[in-house]
Structure 1
Amino acid sequence: MAKIDKLVKEASQYLEPNEPIVASVLGAYETKIMGKDTLRNGVFLATDRRILFYGKKMFGYDLEVFPYANISSFEISKGVLGRSISFFASGNKVKMKWINHGEVDKFIEHVKENVGKKSEAKSSLSAVDEIKKLAELKEAGILTEEEFEVKKKQLLGI
């Protein structure tokens, strides 16, 4: 099984009921850990409701959720090492680079069509369930209080 297929399968457990994956891409996600810039290899999943980032770590995983309604702009570029995708969500810049695997064109087209749109399929119950999962991760020490609050606001569309 290819790495992208394995990560997509693992990430699928965090989707809402009846939330289809439209396209996925594999690359290096730029993020901060303890205030320092770092890269996380993983996948972006474009669904009918949102973009999810899922990256496997030695002990656990990283998961970030970006509802289309919270995305204000979307940028793509292509270089020698592959494509890059950047977008602004809730005031934060999100970037994945070195994308060479997955349904890149389909992913880009789907996200461009949905940027800024509210999901009609998302219910408040699903957001509550997701917040409960995040609270468990916070209690287990996987998420900090600040990370929990940021993700909770994203889910609530604040």
Structure 2
Amino acid sequence: MGKADKLLEQAREHLEPSETVAAAVMGAYEVRRMGSETVRNGVLIATDRRVVFYAKKLGGFDLESFPFGNISSFEHGKSVMGHHVTFHASGNRVVVKWLQPANEFADFLDKVKSAMNLKHQVPTSPAPPQAAPEASAPPAPGGTPVPAPASEDVLATLERLGELRDAGIVTPEEFASKKAELLARL
């Protein structure tokens, strides 16, 4: 049993009973410890619900969990040392580098992107037989109603707000308030 398999088995003890592992890769998670940058080697896991980083340490373990619905952006790239990902979740910037092996990284990336797309979709309901008067803005000078913002515009605005929240420009409370307001427009 390789190191990645061993870490993955240890991490499974900390998952929910019905949670399933979709993909996993070994990597180094950049963290701040006592004011300095350091890395923690471990396994980055994509489950059916979240991304989990698990690392074994002397006398214990480190585990950090990021539900897909809380991940506002996800970037990836490749360097001489291997693949790397950076994502923002609940105000945290997460960087995991030196992800190996490459074939498992591609599978991991596909699983994360698919899960994020599913979690960030806004539920839709069938359109009512008649459009409600609130669905349109007041008529333009020519008397033609201006359509309400498209759901894509609302989603793009939510993504921008999430980035502002992750950057610390908008508080989580301000984000939640504006999110509720935007979703009410759909």
| TM-score normalised by structure 2 residue count | 0.61
- The letter of the residue matching 1:73 is S
Q: How far is 1:115 from its partner? A: 2.0
Equivalent residues of 1:53, 1:65 under 8 A apart: yes
Spell out structure 1 runs of 4+ moving beyond 2 A. none
Matched with 1:41 is: 41
Supply the distance in 2 between the matched residues of 1:56 and 1:79 (Cα, whole angstroms): 26
Aligned to 1:18: 18
Matched residue count: 119
After the TM superposition, which of the residue ranges 99-108 and 38-47 deviates more from structure 2?
A: 99-108
For residue 91 of structure 2, what is the aligned residue in structure 1?
91
Residue of structure 2 in register with 1:104 after alignment: 105
1:75 and 1:66 map into 2 onto residues whose CA distance is: 15
Instruction: Provide the rounded CA distance (Å) in 1 between the counterparts of 2:69 and 2:4.
Output: 26
Give the unaligned 5+ runs of structure 2: 121-175, 177-186
Residues 22 and 46 in structure 1, CA contact (< 8 A), matched pair in contact too: yes
Q: CA deviation at 1:105?
A: 0.8
Contact preservation (8 Å) 1:23, 1:47: yes
What's 1:81 paired with? 81
Question: What residue number does 1:151 align with?
Answer: none
SS at structure 2 position matched to 1:115: helix
CA-to-partner distance for each residue in 1:46-79, whole Å, 9 max, x for gaps? 0000011100111211000100010000011001
Q: Which residue of 1 aligns with 2:142?
A: none
Please identify the structure whose Cα radius of gyration is greater. 2
Contact 1:74/1:115 (<8 A) preserved: no
> Which residue is 1:58 aligned to?
58
* RCO comparison, higher one (Cα < 8 Å, 6+): 1
Deviations 1:101-141, CA, capped at 9 Å, x for gaps: 372111101111222617xxxxxxxxxxxxxxxxxxxxxxx
% identical aligned pairs:
50
CA distance in 1, matches of 2:16, 2:35: 31
Q: What secondary structure does 1:14 align onto? A: coil
With 47-56 and 29-38 compared, the bigger mean Cα shift is at: 29-38
- Kept in 2: contact 1:44–1:51 (CA 8 A): yes
